[in-house]
């Protein structure tokens, strides 16, 4: 998968930011999927986007595409820890509600109306309103999450892209009793981690390490799930956006309950009634391979659904009304601005300096010794190349050719008489 990559340092979350985030939204808070996974989601989305939606995306995002802003939501959380609540839809099973019970008994926590599903509907509705296509959508007081923060249209698009990816990380819609998988300890190839971390980054890191050719080999394309993409488009067209968001949320909850909270090879429940949260669960190779395939499919599903949403909001005449000026400035944005400022100052001091770190192209200069050396090499290699092209590499052909040349020298007396083998044609054998 391509797109903008973040350094290891950018991926590490500071301890202070983490502490504030836990206070803001409880122990469930953490990033959703790693940056590379979000990048793959963006790549998949781009493969299913209409030309006009792609053009509007680049206009709103300053020339960037979906995968380039894959980690923006996490950068917002780093700068404004209170915003982390938007990335989760935690189900409360602490007050008698069953863990992974019937849908009618599921209770979703959404304090101050700030949670994943509400945030998706809010930013989607906000964008449509600014396009001149107003719909009823959940209001959200950003100040209850982070004092003073405001979102422009461009910011709303970036946040929506990130949140749609989060929706498909199944443990972002998990349960309070197991702390969204954080309380479930697993061991994979000798390394212990939480079930949440295994799904958030463990599987992806293993794939990139052991299957790098596959990861960077173009698998992030909507054609891999074309039937699911068509079905989702048909449902969106028939039932509408909010019904689609509700359906996608329900599918993620069911996926968490039926696939993630259950060991794929033993069938043992990893959380909920009867599960031993104090036990470290071994993830064998069979379990990893089963989850590997499921994890990859979640990435593709997130990407194709992101494309459906972006095509709807950006492949429309009202998209030109959307403001491309950002209001949210993250710490990463500030660092980037400092880098640009430093480069500009250096360029002014040194006219030969370029933004790429090099210098202007010097006038062409011919190095005579090097030219003669290359010419000598060509005098040898080019004739040999032509001989190989004409006669091939078959030893028998070479032997016959040499004999023919020798017979020509002996029979022709040096005056090119046609009595010898020089008049023959040598047939190339394949």
* Closest alpha carbon to 58 in 48, 47, 46: 46
Check residue 191 and give its pLDDT: 97
* Closest alpha carbon to 288 in 190, 212, 214, 215: 190
Least confident range from 10-14, 187-191, 335-339, 389-393: namely: 10-14
pLDDT digits (tens, 9 = 90+) for 168-182: 999 999 999 999 999
pLDDT digits (tens, 9 = 90+) for 257-308: 999 999 999 999 999 988 888 899 999 999 999 999 999 999 999 999 999 9
pLDDT digits (tens, 9 = 90+) for 25-63: 333 344 557 889 999 999 999 999 999 999 999 999 999
Check residue 3 and give its pLDDT: 37
Check residue 50 and give its pLDDT: 97
C-beta of residue 159 within 8 angstroms of C-beta of residue 151 = yes
The edge-to-edge listing of strands for the beta sheet with 185-188 is 191-194, 185-188, 281-282
Average pLDDT over residues 144-164: 95
Least confident range from 250-259, 404-413, 415-424: namely: 415-424
Using alpha carbons, list the distances in angstroms from residue 25 to 54, 74, 93. 34, 15, 16
Check residue 353 and give its pLDDT: 57
């Amino acid at each position: 998968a391509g797109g903008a990559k973040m350094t290891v340092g950018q991926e590490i979350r500071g301890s202070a930011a983490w502490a504030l985030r836990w206070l803001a939204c409880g122990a469930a808070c953490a990033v959703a999927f790693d940056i590379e996974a979000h990048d793959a989601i963006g790549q998949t989305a781009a493969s299913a986007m209409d030309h006009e939606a792609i053009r509007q995306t680049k206009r709103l995002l300053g020339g960037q595409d979906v995968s380039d802003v894959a980690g923006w939501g996490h950068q917002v959380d780093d700068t404004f820890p209170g915003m982390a609540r938007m990335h989760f839809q935690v189900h409360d099973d602490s007050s008698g509600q069953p863990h992974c019970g019937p849908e009618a008994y599921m209770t979703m926590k959404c304090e101050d109306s700030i949670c994943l599903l509400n945030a998706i509907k809010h930013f989607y509705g906000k964008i449509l309103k600014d396009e001149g296509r107003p719909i009823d959508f959940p209001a959200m007081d950003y100040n209850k999450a982070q004092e003073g923060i405001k979102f422009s249209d461009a910011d709303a698009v970036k946040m929506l892209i990130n949140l749609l990816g989060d929706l498909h990380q199944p443990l972002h819609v998990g349960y309070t009793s197991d702390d969204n998988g954080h309380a479930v300890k697993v061991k994979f190839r000798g390394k212990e981690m939480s079930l949440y971390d295994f799904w958030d980054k463990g599987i992806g890191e293993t794939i990139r390490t052991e299957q790098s050719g596959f990861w960077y080999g173009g698998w992030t394309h909507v054609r891999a799930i074309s039937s699911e993409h068509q079905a989702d488009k048909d449902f969106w067209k028939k039932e509408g956006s909010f019904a689609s968001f509700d359906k996608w949320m329900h599918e993620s909850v069911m996926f968490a309950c039926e696939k993630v909270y259950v060991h794929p090879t033993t069938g043992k429940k990893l959380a909920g009634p009867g599960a031993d949260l104090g036990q470290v669960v071994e993830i064998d190779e069979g379990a990893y391979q089963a989850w590997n395939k499921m994890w990859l499919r979640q990435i593709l599903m997130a990407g194709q659904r992101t494309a459906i949403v972006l095509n709807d909001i950006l492949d429309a005449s009202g998209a030109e009304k959307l403001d491309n000026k950002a209001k949210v400035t993250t710490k990463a944005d500030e660092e980037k601005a400092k880098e640009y400022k430093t480069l500009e100052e250096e360029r002014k001091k040194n006219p030969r300096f370029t933004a790429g770190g090099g210098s202007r192209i010097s006038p062409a200069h011919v190095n005579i010794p090097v030219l003669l050396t290359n010419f000598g090499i060509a005098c040898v290699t080019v004739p040999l190349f032509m001989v190989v092209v004409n006669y091939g590499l078959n030893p028998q052909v070479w032997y016959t050719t040499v004999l023919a040349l020798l017979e020509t020298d002996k029979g022709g007396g040096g005056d090119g008489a046609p009595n010898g083998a020089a008049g023959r044609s040598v047939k190339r054998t394949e």
